[in-house]
Structure 1
């Protein structure tokens, strides 16, 4: 198994607290699933990017297919919902070990979570999931965690409203969750060049070419070279990346006005109501229509209030995203205000495209959360000791 022969054991957590957490989830109508630990690796690489490879425990079956110990539970649960053809809407929970290298502790740790699939009332579903995350923290003795809120859907709506090349729009959306937008906004100013690409000749030849013909040419060249996949990406996906890069290299950068709008948008933060007012003011000033996305945002804020979430405790930021590119709407994290946990205690968001990317015939609305039970358990132990 790579990168290590075996995953180390996870530290113990409190069975009574875990049982209480599962009981809380069950009371909210979420049925427990326990998907297999061994999973196909390609789905994680396709959905989370090649960067996750170095954090996965990998092996190969007798037919040469890459397998992995599940690095999270959202994707395995989603695959089960599809394969088992669960009736929608479906509300499922989980609790069990996951395996990945990280900056803290063991490569094996326990994770709990919730996934809600198929609800059409997305704003209410979002609010319920965040409220259940708060309930999980309260169960472990932290009734008022720090709430960080963002919205990938709002940023996507802004990009759609701006005069951007499709390749640049995809690039900015992908980098939104990776925290690389500041670098992109500086590098992609109109007329600004940064060095010469290692594939400059190929990219120059593709620039301006018929997209279908260029895609067919790249696909043929890769096939002739005997290349079927690279880093979990298929030949067609590699061809698409070449075409995107050729568009960027051809000078499809940001105008000064577009960069100013993006910079102003990404500087907005505060309570949801305050941020909404500022985003609507920006849309008016920039003469762009964000009303549909902002109406969703405001309706979700109303449902958060209905679920007894104190809006004064919610720190919304337009620049806040999470590093998984299947998120499509609300994203959030709950943190220890004292910063003793080493990372989020609960995190999640909306991912309406996940099931279709995993093979579902239609787009299925989805929202969920993951709970780092060991971080919460450690805080609970520390609080007990302080008492």
Structure 2
């Protein structure tokens, strides 16, 4: 397993100092539940995870990052609010010459559902910027996206409910969204053409679908892998059936979505482009754009405006982000190796069994932030 070189203590201390104010230091187990992470990132992530056998024979993986683990810890603590700092190794199967084991630092912040989103978003993104800049690089750019803005944009187009829901589910997955745009103008497909098993489960209650799937497995002698429960698999298959039966995009709507996804500009120019492409039903979009003005005003206190880029299609490997997304990139390292990433993930708390609330966080790679680092 390839590991990152150590960052000099002085630089590491500067990077850490930008993230620790008002935060409680926490750790997280190195072993994380494989099934849960695959649900959050999709099966494509499996190839990048280090899978191991946990106690009892279930599959686990070495933690690929800290966000889910820290969120679970917060839920178990029972508090409504919390701000946590973490630091430690994370593990992902490398691409190219990247290390398999690397150090992450980050902050995760949780608050009750009534908390205003933009100020907290800007605060965490600003902390990530300060931490990245503390490493000494002078070629940084703050890229800003918004999964929630995409959702509001889709709502403005007045699409059929099933189609709108399907597009929102793939908002952070560019390849899947590109496939949706490519089939614009097609007639609806029957669910059974896509998957006979999905069609068999569609329309049934969760309990009926789960029982039927377990019966099929028993007859075929199949054992599920990856920690997935029958109920989770049944729900995914039923969603696939519903999606297959939904109508495809019209050509005009596909063109508008494609142009929305292609926006990459300074915020002052990018935000008006979103408004110009929107449909008539846009109250939620107007509110989201107003929130962006507040967010940008707060961000300008930490990061220079000329170093910001607005790209609403910006997404991350894990699809639990549902609001602001951001990356801090170095020109020397390129877009594939960001110095820091983060965003808002309110919905993750409920998916993990907690109460609904606000959640936003960031992760910094100290070696990438360090001006002497090359990986």
Structure 2 length normalisation: TM-score?
Answer: 0.87
User: Could you list the runs of 5+ residues in structure 2 that have no partner in the other structure?
Assistant: none
1:39 to partner: Cα distance: 2.5
Q: Deviations over 1:22-62 (max 9, x none)?
A: 23323x32222122222232321222222222222222234
1:78 to partner: Cα distance: 1.2
CA distance in 2, matches of 1:294, 1:341: 26
Matching residue within 118, 123, 127 for 1:123? 118
1:228 to partner: Cα distance: 7.3
1:342 to partner: Cα distance: 5.5
Contact 1:190 1:256 (8 Å CA) reproduced:
no
Contact 1:146 1:335 (8 Å CA) reproduced:
yes
1:363 to partner: Cα distance: 1.1
User: Could you list the runs of 5+ residues in structure 1 that have no partner in the other structure?
Assistant: 1-6, 383-387
Q: Deviations over 1:301-360 (max 9, x none)?
A: 22222x243223211012222222100111111111233686100111111112221121
Structure 1 length normalisation: TM-score?
Answer: 0.84
Q: CA RMSD in A?
A: 2.8
Residue correspondences, number:
365
1:84 to partner: Cα distance: 2.4
CA distance in 2, matches of 1:188, 1:105: 38
CA distance in 2, matches of 1:342, 1:204: 38
1:187 to partner: Cα distance: 1.7
Partner of 1:108: 101
* Shift in CA distance, 11/142, structure 1 to aligned 2, threshold 3 Å: closer
Contact 1:228 1:235 (8 Å CA) reproduced:
no
Partner of 1:332: 326
Partner of 1:315: 309
Q: Deviations over 1:227-251 (max 9, x none)?
A: 6745443322322222332233335
Matching residue within 241, 249, 259 for 1:246? 241
Which fold has the larger relative contact order, with Cα–Cα distance below 8 Å and residues 6 or more apart in sequence? 2
Q: Deviations over 1:71-128 (max 9, x none)?
A: 111111111112223x443111111111110213331111111111116132111111
* Shift in CA distance, 81/101, structure 1 to aligned 2, threshold 3 Å: same
CA distance in 2, matches of 1:228, 1:298: 51
* Shift in CA distance, 228/83, structure 1 to aligned 2, threshold 3 Å: farther
* Shift in CA distance, 9/268, structure 1 to aligned 2, threshold 3 Å: closer
1:265 to partner: Cα distance: 2.4
* Shift in CA distance, 98/381, structure 1 to aligned 2, threshold 3 Å: closer
Partner of 2:268: 273
Partner of 1:375: 368
Matching residue within 32, 36, 56 for 1:43? 36
Partner of 2:81: 89
**SS of residue in 2 equivalent to 1:343:** coil
**SS of residue in 2 equivalent to 1:94:** strand
**SS of residue in 2 equivalent to 1:29:** coil
CA distance in 1, matches of 2:170, 2:226: 19
Give yes or no for the alignment of 1:221 onto 2:212: yes
Contact 1:347 1:370 (8 Å CA) reproduced:
yes
Partner of 1:385: none
